[in-house]
Copies of this chain bind each other. A is one copy, B any other.
Amino acid sequence: MVYLDLLLVGFGNVGRQFARLLQEKSVQLRRDYGLSWRVVGIATKRHGSAFDARGLDIVKALRLAEAGTSLDVLTGAESERLLPADASGLDLIKYATSESKLRRLQHLVLVETTLLDIQRGQPAVDHVITALRGGAHVVTANKGPVAFAHREIRSVAELAHREFLFEGAVMDGIPVFNLVRETLPVADITGFRGVVNATTNYILTAMEAGRTFAEALAEMQGAGIAEADPSFDVDGWDAAAKTAALMNVLMHGSATPRTIARTGIREITRDRVEDAMARGKRIRLVAAAERGDGHPVGHVAPEELDADDPLAHLTGMQNLLILQTDVLGSIGIHQLDGGLTQTAYALVSDLAAIARRVGRDSS
């Protein structure tokens, strides 16, 4: 049996859905992976923080967070004097890793789900590095760390003998990184192209159905999927961050979102979409990378695609990533449904991978 002590930094929609899914899949995780878990700490942006080395009541924590009440009442008596009620995520990580060392706990895992600052990848990068240095494993659904600092984090993790997993960073829970690592041995990824941003794909297909850019964007904002500031999606930043992440991990790149040549979809009007359709074409925001002179080169831009291009037929919020390999030709991995549960599942699948490796190392 592997016992994991979880530290949830970020307890918004994804973090809370993760907590629910973990409870739901508890029996299977125990049966299939020998994984037993408890949540020892939670840091939120607006509802305080809590820590108890004996384990927090996660049902109560969910109820407090959803009622908009501070979680700090859950903090165990022995941590009360040491951990301020308004401790930041970083404070909590530092406190938990030192506590963990004092108690010689081996299997602390940071579950990182904070919002991404696309300019710098923070605070996620600091969270991840501090946790790994402190002896915790890390799973994250945040694309910041792997898009901005993959190489550095990789070496910190190796030095600390800790796992750093991030399946949810690019295509929600659809396996991409695990797909390559676990199922494509000795295959060389020579490039990729895909549609990896759901909001822009929704807007483009809504324009094909006759709506304007502004109408389609408003729908996504109304549904809570696009942010109030749509730049992250429509200017291609999200796709660029995912492109950098894929290049860094699958093609040994050292990209950041800013090194990706990037054009968004603001210039794409309903007229242009309809004009393309009249010629049998579809416009999609394509993220791609290929090997240049040794170094991979990445770019994000709207492209007019032929009808026989698999990317041309993605509707609504679907994503599709096509990997180019030396031994298998092109393989596509297709996300037909996306959302919170999927992203939360990615974190659970990363935890299962950690349980498997920890179990193996200690057997």
A-to-B contact residues, CB < 8 Å: 21, 25, 28-29, 32-33, 167, 172-175, 178-179, 182-187, 307-308, 310, 312-313, 315, 320, 322, 327-339, 341-342, 345, 348-349, 352-353, 360
Q: For residue A183, which residues in chain B have a CB less than 8 angstroms away from its CB?
A: 167, 175, 178-179, 182-183, 349
Beyond A178-B182, A186-B349, list 7 extra A-B contacts (CB 8 Å): A173-B328, A178-B183, A182-B183, A329-B336, A329-B338, A330-B337, A331-B335
Q: For residue A320, which residues in chain B have a CB less than 8 angstroms away from its CB?
A: 332, 334
Q: Which of B187, B342, B352 contacts A329 (CB 8 A)?
A: B342
State in angstroms the CA–CA spacing of A52 and B167 once bound together.
46
Known contacts A173-B327, A334-B320: does B185 contact A352 (CB below 8 Å)?
Answer: yes
A345 and B328: CB pair below 8 A? yes
Q: For residue A187, which residues in chain B have a CB less than 8 angstroms away from its CB?
A: 345, 349
Closest to A176 in B: B183
Q: In the complex, how many angstroms separate the beta carbon of A62 from the nearest chain B beta carbon?
A: 19
Closest to A172 in B: B328
Known contacts A328-B342, A341-B327: does B334 contact A185 (CB below 8 Å)?
Answer: no
Q: Name the residue among A29, A167, A185, A315 with the largest chain B CB count within 10 angstroms.
A: A185
Q: For residue A175, which residues in chain B have a CB less than 8 angstroms away from its CB?
A: 179, 183-184
State in angstroms the CA–CA spacing of A209 and B328 once bound together.
27
Q: Which 6 pairs show the lowest CB-CB distances between chains A and B?
A: A329-B337, A332-B334, A185-B352, A175-B183, A182-B182, A330-B336
Q: In the complex, how many angstroms separate the beta carbon of A345 from the nearest chain B beta carbon?
A: 4
A310 and B308: CB pair below 8 A? no
Q: For residue A348, which residues in chain B have a CB less than 8 angstroms away from its CB?
A: 185-186, 327
Q: For residue A182, which residues in chain B have a CB less than 8 angstroms away from its CB?
A: 178, 182-183
State in angstroms the CA–CA spacing of A149 and B233 once bound together.
50
